[in-house]
């Protein structure tokens, strides 16, 4: 027996919940290093465009399916397209988040480790080589990865609502304050100006179709699209709420956090003489350097708070990832405990392999990529866009236009003027854009 479905209490609650899932390692860890590898300001501009014309329409498409059906992904397909092959979309959107969580929790583990290190005041200005030797070691990252998975699973077992909602409400503003503080600190470091320049002066010669594809993949990743999380959250949104506002609000905060993280990291990178294109270790290499430069108790305390904030941002996202799989299994009749423990073990196993791919398994390559990079590419460039493509095709071509309009305009009372434009984006531009990205990833 199901009880009546809950609804978020306010517009702010909706946006906070969606932003809690969206804002995570993607913003603080992934965005700065992708910007660094793909041309700085030019990448940011492409990214913003990808966000507006591709990611946002898909966000809205997922919201429409979720609120219309009032179900999780699988149930939504069953309800809106009974007996059709669309149910496989439900399955895809359960498998992708589990793979994603596998490697996400490895990076989550790094933030656990760095939080511990910060607490022990290890960042004393002498952090050279620290990160490299840490991730390539065998046991330490495995240990912290396990801690991260256990905490994620424990919160899911306790119930997401009270614990995590309260947690997010307190920690998100804290994260914001800390990042703003770091931006100020970072851009006032000697030599930081070059980093600021790198982020505001676009060099379009760096932009090729690969950069566009990467920007799109990142927009998907950062907004938690294509895996049914937004769809599920939207099913808790009340009928009175304006879907355009909740989508726009979430995208705004997500972008804001990414940009702030970029301005916190990149100027310091240049000040520290580190290469901006260094890759996955950027944040973990650079931030300890900044903290070390403070040479004070203040530096130590900020380090603790900062890695705690990253950890929390990662946890609010990892929980919503695990919840997708758990909700699916619970619907299929498993107990919540069994589902959680089973999936925690599965993602733990995937994570172990990913973690070792920086050390003992570094020689194992799939399509020339390490296991970690391969799974990251598989999810961000393929599975998430594929999920997004299917969602937007579902709304644009499978659902009736009258239903879509009714849901998007709240029965003709809101957003009436922009409907045709958004519908066009969902029906044509977003699908074509994703197909272009697929072809790029396939052929280039
Ligand atoms: N958006 C999250 C981040 O930026 C990562 C993520 C991608 C995610 N897909 C998701 C989180 C689905 C929750 C659910 O870190």
The span from the CA of 444 to the CA of 433, in Å, is 16
Q: What is the CATH number of the domain that holds 155?
A: 1.10.4160.10
Determine whether the shortest distance from the Cβ of 250 to ligand 1 is under 6 A: no
The span from the CA of 210 to the CA of 218, in Å, is 12
Determine whether the shortest distance from the Cβ of 282 to ligand 1 is under 6 A: no
Residue 4 lies in a domain: no
Q: How far is the CA of 133 from the centre of ligand 1 (A)?
A: 27
Closest CA to 66 of 244, 245, 242, 235: 235
The pick from 225, 251, 321, 343 for probing ligand 1's pocket by mutation, whose C-beta has the most ligand atoms within 8 angstroms, reads 321
Q: How far is the CA of 100 from the centre of ligand 1 (A)?
A: 8
Q: How far is the CA of 325 from the centre of ligand 1 (A)?
A: 14
The span from the CA of 137 to the CA of 399, in Å, is 51
- pLDDT for the residue 2: 43
Q: Which positions ≥6 away from 94 have C-beta within 8 Å?
A: 73, 74, 228, 324, 325, 328
Q: What digits encode the pLDDT tens for the residues 267-302?
A: 888 887 777 777 777 778 777 877 777 667 777 887
First to last CA, the chain: 51
- pLDDT for the residue 393: 95
Determine whether the shortest distance from the Cβ of 380 to ligand 1 is under 6 A: no
Residue 1 lies in a domain: no
DSSP string, 129-188: THHHHHHHSSHHHHHHHHHHHHHHHHHHHH-SHHHHHHHHHHHHHHHHHHHHHHHHHHHT
Q: How far is the CA of 17 from the centre of ligand 1 (A)?
A: 12
Asked whether the beta carbons of 324 and 227 are under 8 A apart, the reply is: yes
Q: Whose CA is nearest to atom 11 of ligand 1?
A: 317
- pLDDT for the residue 14: 72
- pLDDT for the residue 39: 86
- pLDDT for the residue 9: 61
Closest CA to 322 of 160, 170, 101: 101
The span from the CA of 388 to the CA of 223, in Å, is 11
Residue 6 lies in a domain: no
Residue 127 lies in a domain: yes
Q: Which domain holds residue 271?
A: 11-443
Residue 3 lies in a domain: no
DSSP annotation of 206: G
Residue 112 lies in a domain: yes
Asked whether the beta carbons of 200 and 292 are under 8 A apart, the reply is: no
Q: How far is the CA of 432 from the centre of ligand 1 (A)?
A: 23
Residue 301 lies in a domain: yes
- pLDDT for the residue 320: 85
Q: Whose CA is nearest to atom 12 of ligand 1?
A: 224
Q: How far is the CA of 206 from the centre of ligand 1 (A)?
A: 27
Q: Total domain count for the chain?
A: 1
Give, for all 444 residues of the chain, the pLDDT tens digit.
Answer: 344 455 666 667 777 778 888 999 899 888 988 888 888 899 999 999 999 989 999 999 999 999 998 887 888 888 888 888 888 888 888 889 999 999 999 999 999 999 999 898 877 766 677 787 888 888 988 999 999 999 999 888 876 566 566 767 777 788 888 889 888 888 888 888 888 988 888 888 888 888 988 898 899 889 999 988 899 888 888 888 899 999 999 999 999 999 999 998 888 888 877 777 777 777 787 778 777 776 677 778 878 877 887 898 898 889 889 988 887 888 788 888 999 999 999 999 999 999 998 888 878 888 888 899 899 888 888 898 899 999 999 999 999 899 989 999 988 888 888 999 999 999 999 999 889 888 887 887
Angle at 71 between CA 69 and CA 75, to 5 degrees: 95
- Which contacts of 188-192 are long-range, i.e. CB under 8 A and separated by 24 or more positions? 189/267, 189/268, 189/271, 189/290, 189/293, 190/271, 191/270, 191/271, 191/273, 192/267, 192/268, 192/270, 192/271
- pLDDT for the residue 290: 72
| Atom from ligand 1 closest to the CA of residue 314 | 15
What is this structure's pTM?
0.88
- pLDDT for the residue 76: 87
- pLDDT for the residue 247: 94
Residue 174 lies in a domain: yes
Show the tokens assigned to 362.
């570094």
Q: How far is the CA of 21 from the centre of ligand 1 (A)?
A: 6
| Atom from ligand 1 closest to the CA of residue 254 | 4
The span from the CA of 107 to the CA of 314, in Å, is 9
């Amino acid at each position: 027996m199901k009880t009546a479905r809950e609804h978020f209490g306010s517009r702010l609650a909706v946006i906070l919940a969606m932003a809690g899932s969206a804002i995570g390692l993607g913003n603080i860890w992934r965005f700065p290093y992708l910007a660094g590898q793909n041309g700085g300001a030019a990448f940011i501009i492409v990214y913003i465009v990808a966000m507006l014309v591709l990611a946002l329409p898909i966000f809205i498409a997922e919201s429409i399916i979720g609120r219309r059906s009032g179900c999780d992904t699988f149930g939504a397909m069953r309800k809106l397209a009974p007996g059709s092959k669309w149910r496989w979309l439900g399955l895809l959107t359960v498998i992708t988040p589990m793979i994603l969580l596998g490697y996400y929790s490895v990076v989550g583990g790094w933030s656990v480790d760095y939080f511990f290190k910060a607490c022990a005041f290890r960042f004393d200005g002498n952090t050279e080589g620290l990160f490299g030797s840490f991730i390539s070691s065998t046991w330490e990252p495995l240990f912290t990865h396990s801690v991260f998975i256990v905490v994620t699973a424990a919160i899911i077992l306790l119930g997401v609502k009270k614990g995590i909602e309260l947690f997010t409400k307190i920690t998100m503003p804290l994260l914001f304050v800390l990042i703003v503080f770091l931006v100020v600190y970072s851009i006032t470091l000697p030599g930081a100006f070059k980093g600021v320049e790198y982020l505001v002066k676009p060099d379009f010669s760096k932009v090729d179709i690969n950069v566009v594809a990467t920007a799109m993949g990142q927009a998907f990743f950062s907004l938690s699209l294509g895996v049914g999380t937004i769809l599920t959250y939207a099913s808790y949104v009340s009928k009175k709420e304006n879907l355009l506002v909740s989508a726009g609000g979430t995208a705004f905060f997500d972008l804001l956090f990414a940009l702030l993280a970029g301005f916190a990291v990149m100027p310091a990178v240049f000040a520290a003489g580190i290469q901006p294109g260094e890759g996955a270790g950027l944040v973990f290499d650079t931030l300890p350097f900044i903290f070390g430069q403070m040479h004070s108790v203040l530096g130590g305390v900020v380090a603790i708070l900062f890695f705690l904030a990253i950890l929390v941002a990662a946890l609010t996202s990892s929980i919503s990832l695990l919840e997708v799989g758990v909700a699916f299994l619970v619907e299929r009749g498993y107990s919540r405990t069994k589902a959680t423990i089973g999936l925690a073990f599965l993602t733990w196993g995937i994570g172990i392999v990913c973690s070792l791919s920086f050390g003992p398994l570094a020689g194992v390559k799939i399509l020339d990529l390490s296991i970690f990079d391969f799974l990251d590419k598989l999810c961000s460039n393929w599975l998430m866009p594929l999920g997004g493509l299917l969602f937007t095709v579902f709304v644009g071509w499978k659902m009736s236009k009258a239903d879509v309009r009714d849901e998007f305009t709240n029965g003709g009372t809101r957003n009436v003027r922009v409907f045709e434009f958004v519908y066009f984006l969902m029906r044509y531009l977003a699908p074509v854009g994703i197909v272009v990205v697929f072809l790029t990833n396939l052929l280039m």
